[in-house]
Structure 1
Amino acid sequence: MKNINFQADKLEVKLFETNDIIGQVAAKSVAGILQEAIAQRGVANLILATGASQFKFLEHLQKQTIDWQKVTVFHLDEYKDLPETHPASFRKYLKERILEKVNPREVHYLNGDAPDVDAEVARYEKLLKGHSIDVACIGIGENGHIAFNDPPVADFNDPKLVKVVELDEACRLQQLGEGWFPTLSDVPKEALSLTIPAIMRAKKISCVVPGIQKAKAVFNTLNQEISTACPATILREHPHAILYLDRLSSADLKLKEML
């Protein structure tokens, strides 16, 4: 499979053979964005995603030449009422997979188990408003969500940057299928999530989506009308977003018709 590049509205799409390759390419691109921001302003601000789809990307990101002491990190979401010690905690995931290894200047964690969830949402929203995000590194869920903005709760014009959302069954089944929880009843029904406007306000978006499980969501993202029925379709309106796909996640695309 040769490398393939094309546009879907404003969204740049890059296809490579494997998950490992798209992880490498995306990590190199994100590192360049951070390096440029640091050169221009002395600091950079980054949003990181979690989940099984991001393993290779995060593995390669920590190998890049980045002055992490000048980088402030946010993350996309966290389960409501789940302690950081839980194996599925996104705070735990990020600490163990990258942040404790690279030691950024600052990390702002979204505390899903905060005793006052409304205060936590307000705190995180205030932090986001105070930082210009250079690049948001995200994925796409099997139901087309970005962050935990599932179709029933996604709002392209959300007045909030952070909110508590109810997770739909398709999303919860994905979390179960990836092995984060032993049974569906163990998967939380709510989460704290950055909203779609919070993601779209990032100067650049890097979206890494590997795997056959994501093929339908990728097809819908690139072919459905832009609507909350498939929240990821909004990426086609961002002026500086790149979608990275491997052979498996691009399996449903009719590539010859798109080139």
Structure 2
Amino acid sequence: DITTTDPEGEAERYGKLLRENPTDIVVMGIGENGHIAFNDPPVADFKDPKTVKPVKLDEICRQQQVNDGCFVRIEDVPTHAMTLTVPTLVSAPYLFCIVPAPTKAKAVYETLNGTIDEHCPASILRLQKNAILYLDDKSSALL
């Protein structure tokens, strides 16, 4: 419920639904700062006990929403969002990660070659045998 005045309560309500009806397939991308879903580096937690949580969006993530054409101006981009947590995302039996665009090349490089930690949340995908990464020539330019 986007009109909620209780983000924590809404996250728990939605998390309960997901725990009762687990996700079979996750289709995701990688953000310019290495985020997956809205798990930006400042809030990503590979051992997060929650299923869904409210988060404050990182400025890089907010600017990406403008760069991607989702919003016209940064002032229009919400400062907070709900996100599935990293453990929830990677618990699905099938993970498909689709990453086009030259603005993602550095994040793709860090995902595949950097340290596996929350500084690049997408790096967790390297530990998932069920993850398939689809890149284009621009997003893979630094590989």
Please state how far the C-alpha of 1:114 moved relative to its aligned partner.
2.3
Aligned-pair RMSD on alpha carbons?
1.1
Residue of structure 2 in register with 1:158 after alignment: 48
Query: 2:61 and 2:109 mapped to 1: Cα distance?
Result: 18
Deviations 1:50-97 (A, max 9, x none): xxxxxxxxxxxxxxxxxxxxxxxxxxxxxxxxxxxxxxxxxxxxxxxx
Query: 1:182 and 1:132 mapped to 2: Cα distance?
Result: 35
SS of residue paired to 2:17 = helix
Q: Which has the larger radius of gyration?
A: 1
Contact 1:112–1:191 under 8 Å retained in 2 = no
Q: State the 4+ residue runs in structure 1 displaced beyond 4 angstroms.
A: none
Residue of structure 1 in register with 2:64 after alignment: 174
SS of residue paired to 1:129 = helix
Residue of structure 2 in register with 1:189 after alignment: 79
Please state how far the C-alpha of 1:225 moved relative to its aligned partner.
0.8
Unaligned 5+ residue runs, structure 2?
Answer: none
Residue of structure 2 in register with 1:226 after alignment: 116
Deviations 1:151-175 (A, max 9, x none): 0000000010100111111001101
Query: 2:22 and 2:66 mapped to 1: Cα distance?
Result: 34
Please state how far the C-alpha of 1:187 moved relative to its aligned partner.
1.1
Residue of structure 2 in register with 1:6 after alignment: none
Aligned to 1:144, which of 34, 38, 42?
34
Q: State the identity %.
A: 54
Structure 1: which amino acid aligns with 2:112? L
Please state how far the C-alpha of 1:181 moved relative to its aligned partner.
2.0
Contact 1:112–1:192 under 8 Å retained in 2 = no
User: If the length of structure 2 is used for normalisation, what is the TM-score?
Assistant: 0.95
Query: 1:132 and 1:203 mapped to 2: Cα distance?
Result: 10
- Answer 1 or 2: which has greater helix percent: 1
Please state how far the C-alpha of 1:138 moved relative to its aligned partner.
0.7
Please state how far the C-alpha of 1:131 moved relative to its aligned partner.
1.7
User: If the length of structure 1 is used for normalisation, what is the TM-score?
Assistant: 0.54
Residue of structure 1 in register with 2:104 after alignment: 214
Residue of structure 2 in register with 1:118 after alignment: 8
Q: Which has the higher contact order (CA 8 A, sep 6+)?
A: 2
